[in-house]
Amino acid sequence: MLVKAGSGLATFGISSSAGVPESVAGDTIVLPLNDEAAMEAAINKHKDDLAAVIIEPVPANNGLLLQDKSYLEFLRDITRKHNVLLIFDEVISGFRIGFTGAAGFYGIKPDILTYGKIIGGGMPVGAYGASAAIMQKISPDGNVYQGGTLSGNPVAMAAGIATLTECLKKDFYESLEKKTNTFTGILNSFAKENNLPFKVFSIGSIFWFAFSEKEKIQRADEIDSESMTKFNTLYHELLDHGIYFGPSGYEVGFISDAHTEEILSDAAKGICGMLKKTFAGSSPLRID
């Protein structure tokens, strides 16, 4: 979403990328996460014009900003009350925190769900789902045309089905979560024992390294941008030791079924040593 908040709460957005027309940005309102009052103000002001509220229920595009279940329930209640659709963007969270994603995890039923990534098993796929009443609006049943060159591409569909078939095998998610917990547990215990301002946040198979002592980080402005210099140092240490992370401290990481317990505990123990070096400042700071 290439629109950022306007000057005040509940005002229309401004584009954050060249190429997004003002008219498109002007149809979008951007609100801070975890702020019920901001949502109430926006809905009260614009309810007759709002098509939908869209949120990543597990915001994972700017750190891992785990929301309280009560906030997501609040969104469900207020949208239902005002006849506004609720869309869960599960492009990242889908199939990563259980087969039914964040919606299943939190027990909240949005009106529309979007998926990508895992659902294509590595092939380029995007998908959406909704109730029969909403899906009837899509052609050929309804008058909303949607299609494209690669829509329903057979190779991508086969890859997606093969991946989802693996995900449905017995204990797949239990095993994935156990592996994730082993990995994050080693790192969190080490940080605690050594008094390092470092914490791994995780949910399902998604994890994020926060260079912070905060118990919760739920909004982008709660991330200390200075802490990213620590990530940059650690990133290069990791790379030198054959551990490849996303090249930004704002990126989350994912545990895959292909990661064995052994690989993960070796990696975690290695990272502990590198963390110590990172905080001791003994490795030279490299600027990306």
Ligand X SMILES: Cc1ncc(COP(=O)(O)O)c(C=O)c1O
Footprint of ligand X on this chain (CB under 6 A)?
A: 56, 61, 89, 91-92, 116, 126
Of 107 and 246, CB closest to ligand X? 246
Nearest CA to 123 out of 111, 134, 131, 115 is that of 115
Residue number with CB closer to ligand X (91 or 187): 91
Work out how close the CB of 287 gets to ligand X at its nearest, in angstroms, rounded to a whole number.
Answer: 26
- Could you tell me the smallest distance in angstroms from the CB atom of residue 281 to ligand X? 33
Residue 92 beta carbon to ligand X: minimum distance, rounded to whole angstroms: 5
Instruction: Find the shortest distance in angstroms from Cβ 126 to ligand X.
Output: 4
**CB neighbour burial string for 162-192, b if at least 16 within 10 angstroms, e if fewer:** ebeeebeeeeebeebbebbeebbebbbebbe
Minimum distance between the CB of residue 196 and ligand X, rounded to whole angstroms?
Answer: 29
For ligand X, give the closer residue by CB, 206 or 264.
Answer: 206
Judged by beta carbon, residue 206 or residue 210, the one nearer ligand X is: 206
Token pair of 33 as six digits: 């996460």
- Measured from the CB of residue 87, what is the shortest distance to ligand X in angstroms? 11
Minimum CB distance to ligand X smaller for 74 or for 128: 128
Nearer to ligand X, 6 or 126 (CB): 126
Tokens of 31: 């609100």
Instruction: Report, in Å, the least distance between residue 124 CB and ligand X.
Output: 8
Contact 209, 231 (CB under 8 A): yes
In the bound state with ligand X, the residue whose beta carbon lies nearer, of 61 and 153, is 61
Question: Are the CB atoms for 111 and 131 separated by under 8 Å?
Answer: yes
> Would you tell me how many other CB atoms lie within 10 Å of the CB of residue 272?
17
